[in-house]
Chains A and B, each alone.
Chain A
Amino acid sequence: MIEIVETGPLNTVQDMGRPGYRNIGVTACGAMDPLALEIGNILLGNPEGAAVIEVQTFPFRLLFTKRGAFAVTGADCRAKLDGVALAPWWAGEAEPGQVLELFPPLRDARAYVSLSGGVDVAPVMGSRSTSLRGSFGGLGGRVLAVGDSIATGAVQPAAVPKGGFGAVPPAVALKDVFPVGENGELVIRALPAGEHDLFGADAERFWSQPWKISARSDRTGYRLSGDPIHPVEVVEMRSHGVVPGVIQVPPAGEPIVQMSDANTAGGYPKIAGIIEADLWRMGQARIGSTLRFVPATHAEAKGIEKALATYVDDIRQTARLVGKALAAMA
């Protein structure tokens, strides 16, 4: 059980989302960085899709009203428990009355607070994710506010060793799989989408130029600024289903990347679609930062997915073994 002591405006309860209802217009929602959510839960011994708090505005403070383990993953938000600094991607145990604080991260955008047993709100259509647009899911379908009390599910048997433990962040462990561009820009891999060739020579400029994430970006989507691109002819598109990661180009020529809270349907020409294994990095991209798209194939995407899965499995296995080893030696 925790209580929100301080929060910015856009922090919500999220889990892995509610896919499966796009055919009735329901957005999947879910964590913008599902990898951080998954690892936080693994460290705590939670079910891996347990609901967590997604923090994207800082500072954020919560009070533990009961003893409980927690993890802070995702953006390094220089978290402190009662003033004592915690390493990034870390799990620890809090006593009643202790306060966990998250500060504005210097890199990346979103931090995830996992709690032992998971955030316990009523699932709606199979998920505890907050749908802000639909005003359902999460905590009353709304953003978190100061004074909110949040219940947790059945606490997991002590998975977190005394003194806490952490995971080697994916940016370190997988630095060869998720490279950074020469000028520090994010490199995002994508597959050409339906109207790619309609952009003619502009398609090449889509891949070659850096794009800046504009201030008009949020969980719904990122608007990119750069040299506009236009299709060689205007086509009348019929509305069709879309998934997060789709890169659409509205008439003004600056692409929009749909993210977790995206509309389920679209009708703008789409030039590319981001590979799923890179979406967590998009979810951590900051407003004002620069990214570059690199064309990929299904085979390449598959390789990246495999590397990610191996990393997550490694954490899952090793966390368990380390816990047992420490318990055995205690």
Chain B
Amino acid sequence: MSLLQKASFPSPASIVPNAEGLAKISFIGTRAFLLEAPGPFDLPNQRRIWALSRALEAHEQVAEIVPGMTNLLVILKETPDDPDTVIHQLQEKWQRAQGIDLAGRHIEIAVTYGGEHATDLPALCELSGLSDREVVRIHHEGTYRVFALGSAPGFGYLHGLDPRIHMPRKTVPSLKMARGCVTIGGMQTGVAVLTGPNGWNSIGFAEVQMFDPLAAAPAVMAPGDTVRFRPERIEL
């Protein structure tokens, strides 16, 4: 007998298609279920994710909930006997989830725009057709919401970036981007929390400590927080 010849590919039939307002629900391994909201990457959708997150966090079968960008990873305590039941429960809860707004804090971050850390500002100017001054002004005039934390300890994905300065992630990441770089990744912005490889585009620098593992609340940002960038210096 060879396991390798048992190649009946299980069709992910239980994965609900993204249609009629249904969420797409798929597996990551045995205990994790990824629910992806249909529709745009926007605040109303994210508010429903926050509501779903709230509805699930006290559920006895749930070990961990990881909100993402208009999606939610639900990690169960145990591998379910019947994944379809889990999928139906999640779908039902998604349908019932009314958007909630999280009462977040207001966070202001002082930024040095331009300068030695703004390695990708020229490329963004070229892509957008804007001058460096305009890019900086558009960025610091925005008001951003923390949609979710992830990727690195305390890193907040910020939504609300003006479409004029959207810039795709790099295909080849910068190998050693400094902690504190103010970056743009696609339609999101954020502040790098670790020095290391980073695929986002840096346009400035902020002297901030976004994470302290020994603190009672290790992450400074939380979903729902409002973030503004204050141009402390502009070095162009």
Contact call B27/A191, Cβ cutoff below 8 A: yes
Chain A residue nearest to B223 in the complex (CB): A23
Interface residues contributed by chain A, number (CB under 8 Å): 60
Q: Mark B1-26, 1 if CB is under 8 A from A, else 0.
A: 01110111111100100000000101
The answer to whether A26 and B218 touch (CB under 8 A), given A246-B29, A263-B152, A301-B79, is: yes
CB distance from B209 to the nearest CB of A (A): 13
Count of chain B residues with a beta carbon within 8 Å of a chain A beta carbon: 58
How many angstroms between the C-alpha atoms of A120 and B124 in the bound complex?
Answer: 49
Report the nearest A residue to B24, measured CB to CB.
A194
Q: Is the Cβ of B68 less than 8 Å from the Cβ of A265? A: yes
Is B73 in contact with A243, judged by CB distance below 8 angstroms? Answer: yes
In the complex, whether B227 has a CB less than 8 A from a CB of chain A is no
| A264 in contact with B151 (CB, 8 Å) | yes
Contacts of A243 in B (CB 8 A): 28-29, 31-32, 73, 75
Judging by beta carbons under 8 Å apart, are A25 and B9 in contact?
A: no
Instruction: Contact check, B3 vs A264: say whether CB atoms are below 8 A apart.
Output: no
Interface residues of chain A: helix, strand, loop or mixed (majority): mixed
The B-contacting residues of A in range 260-291, CB under 8 angstroms, are 263-265, 270, 273-277
Chain A positions within 8 Å of B24 at CB level: 194
Q: Report how far A157 CA is from B156 CA in the complex, Å.
A: 47
Q: How far, in angstroms, from A299 to B30 measured CA to CA in the complex? A: 10
Check if B63 is an interface residue, CB within 8 A of chain A.
Answer: yes
Q: Which chain A residues in 225-267 approach chain B with CB under 8 Å? A: 236, 238-243, 245-246, 251, 263-265
Cα-based distance from A22 to B194 in the complex (angstroms) = 16
* Contacts A25-B193, A137-B213, A182-B2 given; does A238 touch B28 at CB 8 Å: no
Quick check: is B219 within 8 A (CB to CB) of the other chain? yes
Asked whether A24 is an interface residue with its Cβ less than 8 Å from the other chain, the reply is yes
Considering the chains assembled together, what is the distance between the CA atoms of A125 and B30 in angstroms? 25
- Say whether B3 contacts A23, CB under 8 Å: no
Query: Which residues in B have their C-beta under 8 angstroms from that of A297?
Result: 10
Q: Which B residues are in CB contact (< 8 Å) with A323?
A: none
* Residues of A close to B157: CB separation below 8 A: 239
Contact (Cβ within 8 A) B219 A25: yes
Which residues from chain B contact A292 at a C-beta distance below 8 Å?
4
**Chain B proximity of A297: nearest CB distance (Å):** 6
Asked if residues B73 and A294 are in contact (CB atoms below 8 Å), the reply is: no
Q: Residues of B contacting A134 with CB < 8 Å? A: 152-153, 194, 211, 213
A-B contact pairs, 13 of them (CB 8 A): A19-B75, A21-B218, A22-B64, A24-B154, A25-B149, A133-B196, A134-B194, A136-B213, A181-B2, A191-B30, A240-B68, A241-B34, A295-B8
A contacts, CB < 8 Å to B: 19-27, 124-125, 131, 133-134, 136-137, 179, 181-182, 187, 190-194, 196-197, 203-204, 207-208, 236, 238-243, 245-246, 251, 263-265, 270, 273-277, 292, 294-299, 301-302, 305
17 new A-B contacts, CB < 8 A, other than A124-B213, A133-B194, are A19-B63, A22-B150, A23-B66, A23-B67, A24-B149, A25-B151, A134-B194, A182-B2, A187-B4, A192-B27, A194-B15, A194-B27, A239-B150, A241-B71, A251-B171, A274-B29, A275-B29
